[in-house]
């Protein structure tokens, strides 16, 4: 019969992630309720995880880590590994959150860390022909910076409107109603940066 190479790992049980999770949440000044809503995890489950009274699934841990803008390994690694901060943090493509516009024709990959939400946010934007990403006014002084990578997009901010081709960039105030639309015949891709004044 084959021997288990590291029996102590079985005796010790799964890693206790509660304190790391709580530290990360408090560092971002999030309440249990706020993190619960952001991650789609019940408040009671979140509370039990933080007190190490529940063994969460990998799916639950992934949602919590993603909501906090940290990697799953940050929650699971031991304290010795914590002290060695990597020079480069890799964010695998499959972990990047994606949102879709109400018309289903605009896809936003959220490239910026959640910790910077409300300060500066950046996205990879893909808009199908006929797609419109319409937004209500943001806070006073907020701006967007749109750089078209392929195809063409029309930007409208209040009564002003411009058509951008691949390679063009537009900078515009977004404390007014604004929209990005694809009136062309092919898919358009762009990088969108939202700058908030904090």
Q: Is 106:98 a contact under the CB 8 Å cutoff?
A: no
Q: pLDDT tens digit string along 83-111?
A: 556 688 888 888 888 888 888 999 999 89
Residue 117 has pLDDT above 80, yes or no: no
Average pLDDT of 28-49?
87
Report the C-alpha gap between 118 and 193 in whole angstroms. Answer: 12
pLDDT value of position 80: 43
CATH of 7-83, one of 3.20.20.10, 1.10.260.40, 3.40.50.1110, 2.170.120.12: 1.10.260.40
Closest CA to 51 of 19, 15, 73, 14: 19
Residue-level length of the chain: 198
Q: pLDDT tens digit string along 143-183?
A: 999 999 999 999 999 999 999 999 999 999 999 999 999 99
Mean pLDDT of the chain: 83
Average pLDDT of 124-138?
94
Q: Is 35:47 a contact under the CB 8 Å cutoff?
A: no
Per the confidence metrics, is the pTM higher than 0.85?
A: no
For the domain made up of 96-195, the CATH class stated in words is mainly beta
């Amino acid at each position: 019969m084959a021997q288990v190479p590291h029996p102590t790992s079985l005796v010790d049980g799964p890693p206790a992630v509660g304190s790391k999770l709580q530290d990360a949440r408090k560092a971002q000044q999030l309440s249990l309720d706020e993190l619960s809503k952001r991650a789609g995890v019940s408040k009671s489950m979140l509370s039990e995880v933080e007190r190490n009274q529940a063994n969460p699934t990998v799916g639950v841990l992934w949602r919590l880590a993603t909501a906090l803008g940290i990697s799953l390994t940050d929650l699971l690694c031991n304290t010795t590994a914590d002290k060695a901060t990597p020079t480069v943090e890799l964010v695998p493509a499959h972990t990047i959150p994606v949102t879709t516009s109400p018309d289903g024709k605009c896809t936003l990959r959220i490239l910026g860390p959640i910790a910077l939400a409300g300060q500066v946010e950046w996205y990879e934007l893909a808009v199908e022909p006929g797609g419109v990403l319409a937004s209500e006014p943001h806070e006073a002084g907020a701006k967007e910076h749109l750089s078209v990578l392929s195809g063409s997009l029309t930007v409208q901010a209040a009564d002003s409107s411009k058509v951008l081709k691949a390679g063009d960039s537009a900078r515009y105030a977004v404390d007014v109603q604004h929209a990005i639309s694809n009136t062309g015949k092919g898919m358009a891709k762009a990088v969108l940066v939202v700058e908030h004044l904090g």
